[in-house]
Amino acid sequence: MEAGGMTSRWRWVVRLLFRRIWFRAALFSLSSVVLALLAAFVAPFIPYEISTKIGSDAVDNILGILASSMLAVTTFSLTAMVSAFSAASGTITPRATQLLVEDSTAQNALSTFIGAFLFSIVGICALSTGIYGTSGRVILFAGTILVIAIIVITLLRWIGHLSSFGRVGDTIDRVEKVARAAADRCGYTVSVVPADRPATRGRRPVRPEKIGYITHIDLKALDEIASRLACAIDVAAMPGAFVTPGREIAWLDRGDAKADAEIRGAFTFDHRRQFDHDPRLGLIVLSEIASRALSPAVNDAGTGIAVLGSGVRVMAALLDEGRTGGTDNERVRLPEIRIDDLLDDLFRPIARDGAGIVEVAIKLQRSLAEIAAMAPSAHGLLAIRAADALARCQAAMAATSDLECVRGVYRAHWTDQESEAGA
């Protein structure tokens, strides 16, 4: 059982490997080279009658056209990708660029074009040496037709993908998707009131030897360690936490230096946070997108409103008691995440930067009310943030009519409910 929905270390490494653009490009390139050279080995099995129907120059001409065109298409694709990365970093947020770099459609397109280029080059070189013979050209011709079909399909998908790749709306959707996936995958339990921390007196602390962000925890490995030691392990720092050698990452009842090293080995550290098991990073990036859009230089209220809608959906995923992220493992216990931390990650920057925009302020009040309906026990915390957002509007809005609109929405969602609660 993989507690908390987190993958084991080797699966995590494989997942990261498949996201690297060089890995896909190398895989496609190797497959293309193997396909080009395979013709020489299959040639003896091709009937002579079929071989004579393929002209001696047919394959050579096609491969020459393919080589020159694929080099140009690869250069164009690289330029489009770099432009999208630069635009996202400069106009959206640098943290979102990571998702664009890992885009599977872009990586498959670039890998296919590079692989097709290498296939044609290897084919031309092999034809020049004469290793194919008459029968080998048939296999090479069939492989070339297959490669052309793959190129056409990939190119059509890539052209359609470029219409939205790196745009603000597309980036918001990407961040929302990974944040909701992290909410389902992580082992967090969202709490309104922080639970009592496990007693540490007499227990053994485990501290890291590295400085950085936790990006993954192998809970399966921790469960095996706890089972072997016949004790409980309390995880003190979850993915997204910045740790130093002076901060505890786990507590256990018994153990030795070897067990400490094994527990440290279950934690993966990096210089940057990763989205996969860190839903708070998704909320932070969403708020950064909104803050950039609500700056005086951009003044894009629509993006701020879109971010609030995405943020509510991510919060709904985190507050869903039926999500798969929960764990009933008694040997490995995970810390809770407080809902007020999530609210600060998402709403405080938007409340600050959108205080002077009536449309954003109204959407913010309604978003807080929608979350309160999903988490009635957090009504008080949400009401505090709604009142804080209203106070920011009172200080920032110049038009009295705009301020009255925001006050009306605030009274409709909060004042009446507080009166009913008091009664």
DSSP 8-state code for residue 140: H
Q: Measuring CA to CA, which residue among 205, 312, 235, 195 is closest to residue 3?
A: 235
**For 319-329, what is each residue's pLDDT tens digit?**
875 444 444 56
From its phi and psi, is residue 396 left (phi > 0), alpha (psi between -120 and 50) or beta?
alpha
The residue whose two tokens read 């009933």 is 328
**For 186-202, what is each residue's pLDDT tens digit?**
766 777 766 556 666 66
Section 24-28 average pLDDT = 82
Confidence at 6, pLDDT banded by 50, 70, 90 = low
Section 398-415 average pLDDT = 92
What CA–CA distance (Å, rounded) separates 377 from 342? 15
| pLDDT value of residue 244 | 94
pTM, entire model: 0.83
Of residues 211 and 377, the one with the higher pLDDT is: 211
Distances (CA, A) of 273 to 95, 269, 282, 350: 9, 9, 10, 22
Of residues 334 and 175, the one with the higher pLDDT is: 175
| pLDDT value of residue 87 | 84
**For 266-304, what is each residue's pLDDT tens digit?**
999 999 999 988 999 999 999 999 999 999 988 899 999
The identity of residue 351, as a single letter, is A
3-state secondary structure at position 166 = coil
Confidence at 420, pLDDT banded by 50, 70, 90 = very low
**For 212-232, what is each residue's pLDDT tens digit?**
999 999 888 999 999 998 888
| pLDDT value of residue 256 | 83
| pLDDT value of residue 315 | 93
Q: Which CATH superfamily is domain 189-270 in?
A: Pyrimidine nucleoside phosphorylase-like, C-terminal domain (3.90.1170.30)
Q: Domain limits of the chain?
A: 3-166, 189-270, 279-326+337-422
Residue 395 contacts residue 361 (beta carbons within 8 Å): no
**For 42-80, what is each residue's pLDDT tens digit?**
656 555 455 455 555 677 788 889 989 998 999 989 898
| pLDDT value of residue 33 | 79
3-state secondary structure at position 240 = coil
Query: Is pLDDT of 109 > 80?
Result: yes
The residue whose two tokens read 């008459």 is 134
